[in-house]
Amino acid sequence: MSLIIGLFSDMNSAGGVQRAGRHVAAVTAKFASDHGHSCRFLSLNDPQGLHTVRVGSGEFSFSGHARDKAQFVLASLRAAGRKPALVIAMHPHLAPIVWAMNVRSPKTRSIIFAHGIEVWQPLGSMRRKALRRADLVVGPSQDTVRHLISTQGIRPEKIKRLPWGLDPEFESRLAANSQPALPDGFPKDGKIILTVGRWDPAERYKGADTLISALPRVLQTTQDAFLVLVGAGADQPRLERLAREAGVFERTRFLHDLTKDELFACYAACNLFALPSSGEGFGLVFLEAMAHGKAAIGGAHGGIPDVIENGVTGELVARGDTNHLAGIIESLLNDPRRAEEMGAKGRKRVEREFSFEQFRSRLTSVLHDALLRKS
């Protein structure tokens, strides 16, 4: 029986990287079960102890190490002593641990996942050297792949692009045609611009401030427009202040701590989705909006162009270009037929390219190839 080890920064917190990690773990656990392998998953930042997670119809367990780096490294090296066939790491910052594990178990193959902004600048020399030693580096978008080659010096033949997919729980809600209630504070009428993110100072690249700055112009032609910002973080007071200074605070709604049903309802009720971010490695929220048949506006940067077909399923705008962003929003809000056509094409694109089953199939092929080469 071959052993597969998975290393994760954290599993249970919110965020696209964490959700991608849960998806990778779920597919890997199913692959191991189907092929007579065993697997063990270790998380650095989750609370101490054994945790169980369900993704769709699958379930897996992992051990948390409560941010204790020494214990996490020790557990990883002990796992390497069992001579695993494969080690998977869900972040480039974990690459030095994978390297150390490979020193103890030289025949172990390794796959390291990159996401986006963390590889846009050269990693430290040890991390970069360790990343280069991996048997395979996986990125979700063409932009991430380009940065792995040009910025981190990874050989192209050692890189695989593997787009993320929708969460199976989200897909189940869509298939059931469920209509959960909207959260308190969501506008009961008007034309709704929805954005979803974490409003933290370190993530100002998401462009929520640009959306707020664009709203006064939008309101000149669409007086019943609302901007709904779903998320939380330490930067929210600044965003609220910007809305007051721009005179649009009454046309904005800040919603947080929503249930999955409430977030699902927000997607269903909005007229369009916008996140003019300059730092997304991929952008799972765009998939969720497009799956609801909504036109999507995103930044013309990072991995977003892999998701949004400009002028087809939505529109791309340069980060900080308030006038262009306002013009696009005005155009789509005042031409609902065009917005609906974009949304319909976006839904078909998600169904065709970004389902969880397609992600599962692609990752299963990667895992199979890694173990086949090992044998």
Token pair in block for residue 130: 């360790």
Reported as a single tens digit per residue, the pLDDT across 212-242 is: 999 999 999 999 999 999 999 999 999 999 9
Cβ–Cβ under 8 Å, residues 67 and 26: no
Are 314 and 194 contained in the same domain? yes
Q: What is the pLDDT of residue 345?
A: 98
Q: What is the pLDDT of residue 372?
A: 81
Are 248 and 334 contained in the same domain? yes
Q: Is the pLDDT score of 373 beyond 90?
A: no
Listed in sequence order, the residues at least 6 apart from 10 whose beta carbon sits closer than 8 Å to its beta carbon are: 18, 21, 43, 44, 45, 46
Q: Is the pLDDT score of 375 beyond 50?
A: no
Range 30-36 contact pairs with CB under 8 angstroms and sequence separation of 24 or more: 30/58, 30/360, 31/363, 31/364, 31/367, 31/368, 32/4, 35/371, 36/1, 36/2
- Whole-number percent of the chain with pLDDT over 70: 99
Are 8 and 109 contained in the same domain? yes
Are 118 and 105 contained in the same domain? yes
Are 312 and 196 contained in the same domain? yes
Q: Could you list the residue range(s) of the whole structural domain that residue 345 is in?
A: 170-353
Q: Is the pLDDT score of 374 beyond 60?
A: no
Q: CA–CA separation, 291 vs 262, rounded Å?
A: 16
Are 268 and 152 contained in the same domain? no
Q: What DSSP string describes 58-122?
A: EEEEEEE-TT-HHHHHHHHHHHHTT--SEEEESSGGGHHHHHHHHHHSTT-EEEEE--SGGGSSP
Are 313 and 360 contained in the same domain? no
Q: What is the pLDDT of residue 19?
A: 95
Q: 257 to each of 18, 22, 209, 254, 270, how far by Cα in Å?
A: 17, 20, 20, 10, 18
Burial of 344 (0-12, 13-18, 19+ CB in 10 A): middle
Q: Residue 228 sits in a domain of what CATH number?
A: 3.40.50.2000
Residue that wins the pLDDT comparison between 341 and 1:
341
Domain count, the chain: 2
Are 323 and 213 contained in the same domain? yes
Task: Give the mean model confidence (pLDDT) for residues 16-21.
Answer: 94
Task: Give the mean model confidence (pLDDT) for residues 168-183.
Answer: 92
Reported as a single tens digit per residue, the pLDDT across 341-353 is: 999 999 999 999 9
Q: Is the pLDDT score of 12 beyond 80?
A: yes
Q: What is the pLDDT of residue 241?
A: 98
Are 235 and 348 contained in the same domain? yes
Reported as a single tens digit per residue, the pLDDT across 81-122 is: 999 999 999 999 999 999 999 999 999 999 999 999 999 999
Reported as a single tens digit per residue, the pLDDT across 260-289 is: 999 999 999 999 999 999 999 999 999 999
Are 35 and 158 contained in the same domain? yes
* Stated pTM of the model: 0.95
Q: What is the pLDDT of residue 262?
A: 96
Are 115 and 233 contained in the same domain? no
- CA-CA-CA-CA dihedral for 1, 137, 278, 262, to nearest 10: -10
Q: CA–CA separation, 252 vs 193, rounded Å?
A: 10
Per the prediction, the chain carries an average pLDDT of: 96
Reported as a single tens digit per residue, the pLDDT across 197-207 is: 999 999 999 99
Are 57 and 29 contained in the same domain? yes
Reported as a single tens digit per residue, the pLDDT across 23-73 is: 999 999 999 999 999 999 999 999 999 999 999 989 999 999 999 999 999
